[in-house]
């Protein structure tokens, strides 16, 4: 079983799925992708079949090495521990802690507040809500990055923090957040989008990307 090709359940636009797609690309892990459309048919994540895979009814979900994992950071940690090259967590404990801090800042402190399920509850003020949540998180993140950044979020090596940053900036752009006040975030995002792993995993290049959004 363990030698079977991993299967990633993903939605092209899901920022959490994109984090995992970047990790898989960076580590050179080939996988099969099963699209789960979070909008169509009332949300395919609510099907009995998918709920059996992931009781939280969320993407990403990864079947790998005979187990099924959900939660993007847990998946990335598993990939890091089982396939350590190239590493996504620095060896230095202080830098490693900074990487985890930034990843958590985005994965716990920003993204869940502007996630699809929450926006449905908010209703017609959803764009304003998402903008406020992202802006408030980015103000703090910009300040943190001024102390930790080199070429990327922490120093000059791509890390788990960067895997969280790029998809979150894409969300910000989708909700038309003014990126002017965040020059460090903008600079790092631009540098990361030049890297092949970030390009191949991009939402505009997925099997389930609608034709009008393809690039």
Mean pLDDT for 139-159 is 98
Task: Answer with the one of 84, 115, 146 that is the final residue of a domain.
Answer: 84
Query: CA 196, CA 113: separation in Å to the nearest integer?
Result: 29
Residue 187 counted as domain residue: yes
Q: What is the mean pLDDT of the chain?
A: 94
91: buried, middle or exposed (CB in 10 Å: 19+, 13-18, 0-12)?
exposed
Residue 204 counted as domain residue: no
Q: How many domains does the chain have?
A: 2
Residue 215 counted as domain residue: no
Structural domain for 73, as ranges: 8-84
27-31, 50-54, 116-120, 137-141: lowest mean pLDDT where? 50-54
Residues 71 and 98 in one domain: no
Which pLDDT score is estimated for 3? 65
Residues 103 and 193 in one domain: yes
CATH number at residue 29: 3.40.30.10
**62: its two tokens:** 């990864």
83-87, 156-160, 197-201, 209-213: lowest mean pLDDT where? 209-213
pTM across the whole model: 0.94
Q: What is the pLDDT of residues 15-50, one digit of tens each?
A: 999 999 999 999 999 999 999 988 887 888 888 888
Residue 212 counted as domain residue: no
When pLDDT is cut at 50, 70 and 90, the band that residue 186 belongs to is very high
- Residue 2 clears pLDDT 70, i.e. is over it: no
Residues 137 and 78 in one domain: no
CA 4 centroid distance within chain: 24
Q: Give how far Cα 78 sits from Cα of 81, 86, 109, 137, Å.
A: 5, 14, 22, 27
Query: CA 208, CA 12: separation in Å to the nearest integer?
Result: 6
- Whether 107 contacts 95, CB under 8 Å: no
CA 94 centroid distance within chain: 23
Residue 163 counted as domain residue: yes
Q: What is the pLDDT of residues 95-111, one digit of tens each?
A: 999 999 999 999 999 99
Residues 78 and 99 in one domain: no
């Amino acid at each position: 079983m363990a030698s079977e090709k991993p299967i990633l359940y993903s939605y092209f636009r899901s920022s959490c799925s994109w984090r995992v797609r970047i990790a898989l690309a960076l580590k050179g892990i080939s996988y099969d992708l099963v699209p789960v459309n979070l909008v169509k048919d009332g949300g395919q994540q609510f099907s009995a079949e998918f709920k059996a895979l992931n009781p939280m009814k969320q993407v990403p979900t990864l079947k790998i090495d005979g187990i099924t994992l959900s939660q993007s950071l847990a998946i990335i940690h598993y990939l890091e521990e089982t396939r350590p090259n190239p590493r996504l967590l620095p060896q230095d404990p202080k830098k490693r802690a900074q990487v985890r801090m930034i990843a958590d800042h985005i994965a716990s402190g920003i993204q869940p507040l502007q996630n699809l399920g929450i926006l449905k509850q908010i209703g017609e003020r959803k764009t304003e809500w998402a903008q406020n949540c992202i802006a408030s998180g980015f103000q703090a993140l910009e300040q943190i990055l001024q102390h930790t950044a080199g070429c990327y979020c922490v120093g000059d090596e791509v890390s788990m923090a960067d895997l969280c940053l790029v998809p979150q900036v894409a969300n910000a752009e989708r909700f038309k957040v003014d990126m002017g006040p965040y020059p460090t975030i903008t600079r790092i995002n631009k540098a990361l989008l030049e890297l092949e792993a970030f390009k191949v995993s991009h939402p505009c290049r997925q099997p389930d990307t609608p034709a009008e959004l393809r690039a």
